[in-house]
């Protein structure tokens, strides 16, 4: 349990570093904007400097924009998720302030693609490990849970306003390059964060009732309990049969390890499901 949480914190910090690298090394000097509140903070920082004559850093604006969204995350997405998201934004702000803003290439397309890939990896890793880079990640995840659809769709939709503003405030080309960066980012996110994909877990355990209760305390999923018997030992046990999303495998692994470390679990890809599949109600 401790090792899993330690890995989660390391992933969150690493994702924050990747996000800062994406911005400071590729996107900011190219006037290409990242996804979500990171891009909104980046655009606002540029607008303040160019049109109002004073400088507010992207990192500080990112922290301020996230405050109301963290309240939504705490109430509708999950307290643990929100706590790690706050940690992610704090470290992202720190790395954005510490790392220099440089240009590794003068080619805008290279900057857009490289920044989009690195930013997508940052967001996707955070979401896969039960956190986020804050802001629009939380809003998009909230909408994804409601509709049970890939999260990248909502990122692209919600980021349309950034694309429009980039074209309006600066050159139309900036909007087009931002669109390239956002498309790359959302593609990478959906490749890493496979929350909408379903898998079937078959758990052989001697502590079926305790495990069933622990699973239902954490997630809203139907479970079928079947009697089972060891072919070699002839010992009686039970099999818990349930369908979950890939995103929930992280939580399921922790639950099984806590309740019955000796349980045997087989996870297989689910091609399709019919009938009732309970969506998360706590959204």
Q: What is the pLDDT of residues 165-184, one digit of tens each?
A: 878 888 788 788 888 988 89
- Asked whether the predicted pLDDT for residue 118 surpasses 50, the reply is yes
Q: What is the pLDDT of residues 44-66, one digit of tens each?
A: 898 898 888 888 888 889 888 88
For residues 150 and 67, which has the higher predicted lDDT (pLDDT)? 67
Q: What is the pLDDT of residues 179-226, one digit of tens each?
A: 898 889 878 877 876 555 678 999 999 999 999 999 988 777 789 999
pLDDT band at residue 281 using 50, 70 and 90 as cut-offs: very low
Domains and CATH numbers, the chain: 2-192 (no CATH), 198-269 (3.30.70.120)
pLDDT band at residue 282 using 50, 70 and 90 as cut-offs: very low
pTM of the model: 0.66
SS (H, E, C) the chain: CHHHHHHHHHHHHHHHHHHHHHHHHHHCCCCCCCCHHHHHHHHHHHHHHHHHCCCCCHHHHHHHHHHHHHHHHHHHHCHHHHHHHHHHHHHHHHHHHHCCCCCCCCCHHHHHHHHHHHHHHHHHHHHHCCCCCCCHHHHHHHHHHHHCCCHHHHHHHHCHHHHHHHHHHCCHHHHHHHHHHHHHHHHHHHHHCCCCCEEEEEEEECCHHHHHHHHHHHCCCCCEEEEEECCCCCCEEEEEEEEEEHHHHHHHHHHHHHHCCCCEEEEEECCCCCCCCCCCCCC
Query: What mean pLDDT comes out for the span 109-113?
Result: 94
Least confident of 11-25, 69-83, 211-225: 69-83
């Amino acid at each position: 349990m401790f090792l899993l949480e330690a890995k989660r914190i390391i992933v969150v910090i690493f994702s924050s570093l990747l996000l800062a690298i994406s911005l400071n090394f590729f996107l900011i000097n190219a006037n290409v904007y990242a996804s979500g509140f990171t891009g909104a903070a980046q655009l606002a920082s540029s607008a303040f400097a160019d049109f109002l004559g004073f400088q507010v850093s992207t990192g500080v604006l990112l922290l301020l924009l996230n405050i109301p969204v963290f309240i939504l995350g705490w109430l509708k997405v999950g307290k643990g998720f929100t706590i790690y998201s706050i940690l992610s934004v704090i470290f992202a702000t720190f790395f954005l302030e510490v790392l220099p803003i440089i240009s590794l290439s003068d080619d805008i397309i290279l900057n857009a693609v490289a920044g989009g890939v690195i930013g997508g990896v940052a967001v996707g890793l955070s979401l896969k490990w039960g956190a986020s880079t804050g802001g629009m990640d939380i809003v998009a995840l909230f909408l994804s849970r409601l509709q049970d659809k890939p999260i990248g769709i909502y990122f692209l939709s919600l980021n349309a306003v950034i694309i429009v503003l980039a074209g309006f405030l600066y050159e139309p080309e900036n909007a087009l390059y931002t669109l390239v960066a956002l498309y790359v980012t959302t593609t990478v996110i959906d490749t890493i964060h496979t929350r909408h994909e379903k898998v079937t877990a078959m758990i052989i355990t001697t502590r079926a009732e305790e495990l069933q209760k622990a699973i239902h305390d954490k997630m809203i999923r139907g479970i079928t309990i079947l009697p089972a018997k060891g072919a070699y030992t002839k010992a009686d046990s039970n099999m818990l049969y349930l369908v979950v999303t890939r995103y929930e495998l992280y939580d399921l692994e922790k639950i099984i390890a806590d309740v019955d470390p000796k349980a045997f679990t087989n996870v297989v890809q689910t091609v399709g499901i019919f009938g009732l599949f309970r969506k998360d109600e706590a959204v």
